Amino acid sequence: VQEIDRLIEARWIIPIEPYGTVLEQHSIAVDRGRIVAILPREAALQRYSARTRDVLDHHVVTPGLVNLHTHAAMTLLRGCGDDLPLMQWLTTRIWPVEKALMGEDFVLAGSRLACGEMLRGGITCFNDMYFFPNATARAVQEYGMRACLGITVLEFPSAWAPDADAYLSRGLALRDDLVNEPLISFSLAPHAPYTVADPSFSRIATLAEQLQMPIHLHLHETQDEIREGVEHHGLRPIARMARLGLINPNLIAVHCVHLEPHELELFAHHGVTLAHCPSSNMKLGSGIAPIAEALKAGVSVGIGTDGAASNNRLDMLAEMRLAALLAKGSSGDATAFPAHRVLESATLTAARVLQLDDTIGSIVAGKSADLTAFDLSDHDLQPCFDVASHLVFVVGRESVSDVWIGGNSVVQKRQIVQDTARQAEAEGASALSLWQNRVKIQIGSLS
Ligand SMILES: [Zn+2]
């Protein structure tokens, strides 16, 4: 009998690899943060003696969900500029309020709020883009979460950096500082084609190749963006990015609501991953990304919530359900984006483009034990014939019961359990009314 740290015994396990697999009455053996084996419950009890046993008789366990696009700290701006189209929303609400309030404490307070929301929603890793990533890093550490933090680049000044060079150098310095943090990695995050100039894009493409980093970019979000791109550069933004060397497997192309068939082919050919954020696209009236067509063309598709200012929840299960429905509804093909493919998008596909698939994204021996358990015993979830379809179409984030990251229990019975996270949550709660008032005053001064 082998001594191990933990045995997670579940009614169902969806390991994501091999594709389409559902294991019944299996256990996940975890030791020193890693998955040691996945085997039938009986056999596990014979082979292992675990210091902790999690007996989950009515639950399905999946890899932790990976939110492929968010702006965590924007939770503080949740619902502060609704019913406005993207450019108006950005220029008359988001940017002025951010300009007035931006700072390390704003980002810390917002990121704490986001980490708690995401963890309780079964998200173990998120791909972020925002100012003061040092503050987001602190929240991530407090909550014991995993994150890929964007080294955001814009041409215009903010409280975080005066110009594109400074955004890059400050971000890269933070990356050096945190190089030994196992749960934190970095991407290069040029904000968008309309906020970043050609020389910065070229530099980012070179850096991404030299440092083997993902590039995290809003791209083809609206028709206006494309029209403006053609006016200023004589090219659609994707063609411009191709010329600047950004269309490659490092690229996480966020939104891509408007794509022509040749652009889908280009993405498929060069291994670009699309980060699909359906709620944000719907809410800002941007349109419906052609996901059924993208999958058919062989493009990798991950799923993101976007920030709470344009969603307004950081809820991956809601995005997964909407993504499946929109792909089917808009293509007229009910077989488009099947449940197992949606689950893979929300885990392994995202892990791959974040260059974390050696560590997370599927339940495989040797990977980190980043796992989410959903309790399916609730009355409103009965009966269940197909647990994968249940996760996409029936289960909501309130069914997330337990979450583990690196083998550590971070959520138990829907409660955040780690001391540092509870402390951060308490501090966050007491700072919240202050921030809410500040945002309110700013919005008042704008209208
Ligand atoms: Zn975004």
pLDDT tens-digit profile of 343-379? Answer: 999 999 999 999 999 999 999 999 999 999 999 999 9
Residues 6+ apart with CB under 8 A from 149: 128, 133, 136, 137, 140, 174, 184, 185, 186, 187
Q: What is the distance in A from the centroid of ligand 1 to the CA of 279?
A: 11
Q: What is the distance in A from the centroid of ligand 1 to the CA of 32?
A: 35
- Whole-number Å distance between alpha carbons of 14 and 126: 20
Q: What is the distance in A from the centroid of ligand 1 to the CA of 157?
A: 19
Q: What is the distance in A from the centroid of ligand 1 to the CA of 329?
A: 24
pLDDT digits (tens, 9 = 90+) for 235-259: 999 999 999 999 999 999 999 999 9
Q: What is the distance in A from the centroid of ligand 1 to the CA of 424?
A: 25
Q: What is the distance in A from the centroid of ligand 1 to the CA of 399?
A: 27
- Residue 128 is predicted with a pLDDT of 98
Q: Which residue has the higher pLDDT, 355 or 429?
A: 355
Q: What is the distance in A from the centroid of ligand 1 to the CA of 280?
A: 8
Q: What is the distance in A from the centroid of ligand 1 to the CA of 219?
A: 10
Q: φ, ψ for residue 81 (rounded to 5)?
A: -150, 60
Q: What is the distance in A from the centroid of ligand 1 to the CA of 79?
A: 15
Q: What is the distance in A from the centroid of ligand 1 to the CA of 407?
A: 30
- Whole-number Å distance between alpha carbons of 358 and 333: 34
Q: What is the distance in A from the centroid of ligand 1 to the CA of 281?
A: 10
Q: What is the distance in A from the centroid of ligand 1 to the CA of 444?
A: 24
In this model, does residue 218 exceed pLDDT 90? yes
- Whole-number Å distance between alpha carbons of 78 and 113: 11
Closest residue by Cα to residue 72 from 178, 146, 166: 146
Q: φ, ψ for residue 409 (rounded to 5)?
A: -75, 120
pLDDT digits (tens, 9 = 90+) for 223-238: 999 999 999 999 999 9
Name the strands in the sheet holding 23-31, side by side, starting at the edge strand that comes first in the sequence.
34-40, 23-31, 2-13, 48-63, 371-375, 400-405, 408-412, 415-416
Q: What is the distance in A from the centroid of ligand 1 to the CA of 347?
A: 19
Q: What is the distance in A from the centroid of ligand 1 to the CA of 218?
A: 6
For the chain, what is the HEC assignment? CEEEEEEEEEEEECCCCCCCCCEEEEEEEEECCEEEEEEEHHHHHHHEEEEEEEEEEEEEEEECEEEEEECHHHHHHCCCCCCCCHHHHHHHHHHHHHHHHCCHHHHHHHHHHHHHHHHHCCEEEEEECCCCHHHHHHHHHHHCCEEEEEEEECCCCCCCCCCHHHHHHHHHHHHHHCCCCCCEEEEEEECCCCCCCHHHHHHHHHHHHHHCCCEEEEECCCHHHHHHHHHHHCCCHHHHHHHCCCCCCCEEEEECCCCCHHHHHHHHHHCCEEEECHHHHHHCCCCCCCHHHHHHHCCEEEECCCCCCCCCCCCHHHHHHHHHHHHHHHHCCCCCCCHHHHHHHHHHHHHHHCCCCCCCCCCCCCCECCEEEEECCCHHHCCCCCHHHHHHHCCCHHHEEEEEECCEEEEECCEECCHHHHHHHHHHHHHHHHHHHHHHHHHHHHC
- Whole-number Å distance between alpha carbons of 110 and 436: 11
Q: What is the distance in A from the centroid of ligand 1 to the CA of 225?
A: 14
Q: What is the distance in A from the centroid of ligand 1 to the CA of 304?
A: 9
In this model, does residue 423 exceed pLDDT 90? yes
- Residue 447 is predicted with a pLDDT of 67
- Residue 251 is predicted with a pLDDT of 98
pLDDT digits (tens, 9 = 90+) for 91-121: 988 999 999 999 999 999 999 999 999 999 9
Q: What is the distance in A from the centroid of ligand 1 to the CA of 307?
A: 6
Q: What is the distance in A from the centroid of ligand 1 to the CA of 438?
A: 23
Percent of the chain with pLDDT over 90: 95
- Residue 33 is predicted with a pLDDT of 98
Pairing type for strands 400-405 and 371-375 reads antiparallel
Q: What is the distance in A from the centroid of ligand 1 to the CA of 27?
A: 37
- Whole-number Å distance between alpha carbons of 119 and 400: 9
Q: Which residue has the higher pLDDT, 303 or 81?
A: 303
Mean pLDDT in residue range 133-153 = 98
Residues 6+ apart with CB under 8 A from 301: 273, 274, 276, 291, 294, 295, 345, 349
Q: What is the distance in A from the centroid of ligand 1 to the CA of 69?
A: 6
Q: What is the distance in A from the centroid of ligand 1 to the CA of 129?
A: 7
Mean pLDDT in residue range 271-279 = 98
Q: What is the distance in A from the centroid of ligand 1 to the CA of 95?
A: 13
Percent of the chain with pLDDT over 70: 100
Pairing type for strands 300-303 and 273-276 reads parallel
In this model, does residue 89 exceed pLDDT 70? yes
